[in-house]
Structure 1
Amino acid sequence: MKAFQVKAPLDYRLAEVEVPGVAAGEALVRVAYAGICGSDMHIIHGDNAFVRFPRITGHEFAGIVEAVGEGVAEVAVGDRVCIDPVISCGGCYPCRIGRPNVCTALEVIGVHRDGGFEELVAVPAANLHPLPEGLGLDAAALVEPYTIAANVLDRMQPHPGDRLLVFGAGVIGLTILQMARAKGIDEVIVTDVIDERLVTARELGAWHTVHGSRDDVEAEVMRLTGGEGLPLIADAACVPALLPSMLRLASPAGRIGLLGFAPTPSDLVQLEVIKKELTLVGSRLNNRKFPEVLALMAEGRLDPLTLVSHRLSFAEMPGAIHMLEHHPEKARKVLIQIGA
């Protein structure tokens, strides 16, 4: 069968691989669609310390159950499913307190083990989520990015009437915007340095947008908030140098959600944190957010296909990687059709 395999940093191709076996507790899924994520690009660049090569990437995907292993009762052959990529041990401290997404033995499908950029993939059956009636496999392949948004918003604990500032209008920033609106946060400010992304943010319901290089972001945000600042700030730009600005823009008792994995140090002015009693929270992957996102999609409160800028065949995937490598500003979500 065909798979998109990264053999080593910057060495990637469509390859012929063996059909994986199905162990007890696993299901074999025939992949229909998969989305390319920024973290896939990090793996291709060799910037992910958790990856061992060769690796079949892909953690945003949906398909149809082809076979099930011994003891599987959660799903049956023929079920349409999407896949939560987070695999946890269930016994460590984070798992015991209900935070399996930071399990001490964490594995992520498409990172620690082979993922969805292959025609057939074996995954733990417990990680499969049957799709609501009427939700297409293409939309279902994009559930995972929305779980990232749901997770960071949950970590920031919004209160009724809170306003939100989103740094970065890439795919994750746009999913945070959409998820916030679906959860009743009406006033969302989005800042980015690419005009096209800000246009999309406005189309998706941003209350206000600010150009990060042409405008004085801090002055504009303070004008919009009457000098109070924002109770909620989400860092979807993942640029460590922006943290001091976030601290200044946060209102007293504000919460800042950080998503970036950059190893570069950030300047943290403790005075800003203490005098306003700010809360800085990290957010990694998702903590069992698939049911919530699927329900919102089924209700029509989230439309993931608005994120898709390119639909390409599996054979075109190497070219899609080249485009994202050299012209990332031309794409939002690139959706790969593998077996639908």
Structure 2
Amino acid sequence: MKALVLEKMYSLSMKDVPIPDCPEGWALVKVISVSVCGSDFHSFKGGNALLTYPRIMGHEVCGIIESINGNSESFSIGDKVILMPYLSCGHCKACKKGKTNCCSSLSVYGVHREGAMAEFYAAPLDHLIKVAPDMSSHVAALIEPLAISTHAVSRGEIKIGDVVLVVGAGPIGIGAALMARIDGATVLVSDTNEARRRYAMDAFGFEHVLDPLDPAYASQILLLTSEEGPDVIIDSTGNNRSMENDVNFLSNGGRMVFVGISNKPIALDGTQFHKRETELFDSRAAKLQDFEKVIRCIESGKLDPLKMVTHRAVFSESKEAFVQWNELGGDVFKAVIDMTEKK
């Protein structure tokens, strides 16, 4: 089969590779569309310490079941499916607590194991989720990143009437902002990138979109939160300076959720953290209930993931497109690779 292989930093090749093995209880899935994650761009630039080369990237994927090894009452050949791309061990402390998303030996498609930027991938049946046959493959491929966002919102325990500040208006941040709004929160969004701020307003209808570099940023937050600060701050930037600074804007008794990953130490102001009795949570990956919630919101019309897609390419042109998207940076909100012209 053909696969887009990351040979080393900044080096992609379209190669013939073996079709992946499909053990008993697994399915072989023919890829229809695969969405490009920010982590794929980080891997391309050598910024993912967990990835080893060479690697087939990609974990935000929609496909059709090609074959099943064994019997299944839940799946059939021809089912349209998405992937929960995090394989857990099932027996470590985290798994026993039901926190399989932070398993001590978590294996993620496209990072620790071969991913879905290929004609086929194989996965355990219990890591596949059926979607409606008529669901757009682009929509389906975006369910996974939206599940990441949904998990972050659930970590924030957001209630109707809460004021939530989402820092970082990339796909994960915007997904969190959308899900927080669906849950009944008043949502503020901030980003240093003007194009991302404009997109948050124009495409997704967020009214209060702020620039953290604006000298009036702190006073703007106070003005929009009755001088008390947000109840919850969700930071998706992965920027340690941003994450350190969040506590200065939080309401007393508030909660912070870090969903972005910083590769640098995070130093929190102990006084500011203490006087608010701040609750700090991290959010990793997603759980089945997060995927299910996203699907319900799509099916009910509360969520339209297609608004996220700004760029696309067919698989045969994906090598050149990926390099171009990387150079465009923040101007690419979400890019999708289609295996053929027809989705």
TM category (shorter chain) comes to: over 0.9
Aligned length: 339
**In 2, Cα distance between equivalents of 1:73 and 1:49:** 39
The corresponding residue for 1:278 is 278
Which one-letter code corresponds to 1:320 in the other structure? A
Q: Deviations over 1:271-313 (max 9, x none)?
A: 1111111111111111222111111111111111100001211
What SS class does the counterpart of residue 48 from structure 2 fall into?
coil
Which one-letter code corresponds to 2:221 in the other structure? V
The corresponding residue for 2:243 is 243
2:335 maps to 1:334: yes
Report the Cα offset of residue 167 of structure 1: 0.9
What SS class does the counterpart of residue 67 from structure 1 fall into?
strand
Q: Deviations over 1:151-184 (max 9, x none)?
A: 0011111122101111111111111111112222
Contact 1:320 1:334 in 2 (8 A): no
What SS class does the counterpart of residue 145 from structure 1 fall into?
helix
Contact 1:134 1:298 in 2 (8 A): no
Report the Cα offset of residue 71 of structure 1: 4.1
What SS class does the counterpart of residue 281 from structure 2 fall into?
strand
Identity %: 32
The corresponding residue for 2:102 is 102
**In 2, Cα distance between equivalents of 1:128 and 1:196:** 35
What SS class does the counterpart of residue 251 from structure 1 fall into?
coil
The corresponding residue for 2:197 is 198
**In 2, Cα distance between equivalents of 1:133 and 1:116:** 20
Q: Rate the CA distance shift 1:163–1:207 in 2: closer, same or farther, 3 A.
A: farther
Which one-letter code corresponds to 2:198 in the other structure? V
Contact 1:75 1:128 in 2 (8 A): no
The corresponding residue for 1:2 is 2
2:29 maps to 1:24: no
> TM-score, normalized by length of structure 2?
0.95
**In 2, Cα distance between equivalents of 1:334 and 1:96:** 36
**In 2, Cα distance between equivalents of 1:82 and 1:193:** 33
Instruction: Say what the alpha-carbon RMSD is for the aligned residues.
Output: 1.5
2:129 maps to 1:129: yes
Which one-letter code corresponds to 2:195 in the other structure? E
The corresponding residue for 1:50 is 50
What SS class does the counterpart of residue 253 from structure 1 fall into?
coil
Alignment of 1:60-139 (within 5 A): 60-132=60-132, 134-139=134-139
**In 1, Cα distance between equivalents of 2:163 and 2:311:** 32
**In 2, Cα distance between equivalents of 1:330 and 1:242:** 21
What SS class does the counterpart of residue 260 from structure 2 fall into?
coil
Contact 2:139 2:306 in 1 (8 A): yes
Which one-letter code corresponds to 2:293 in the other structure? E
Q: Deviations over 1:235-286 (max 9, x none)?
A: 1122111134210110011111102222212221111111111111111111
Q: Rate the CA distance shift 1:206–1:215 in 2: closer, same or farther, 3 A.
A: farther
Q: Deviations over 1:69-115 (max 9, x none)?
A: 12444311000011110111111111111110000121111111111
The corresponding residue for 2:307 is 306
Contact 2:51 2:112 in 1 (8 A): yes
**In 1, Cα distance between equivalents of 2:277 and 2:133:** 45
What SS class does the counterpart of residue 254 from structure 2 fall into?
strand
What SS class does the counterpart of residue 252 from structure 2 fall into?
strand
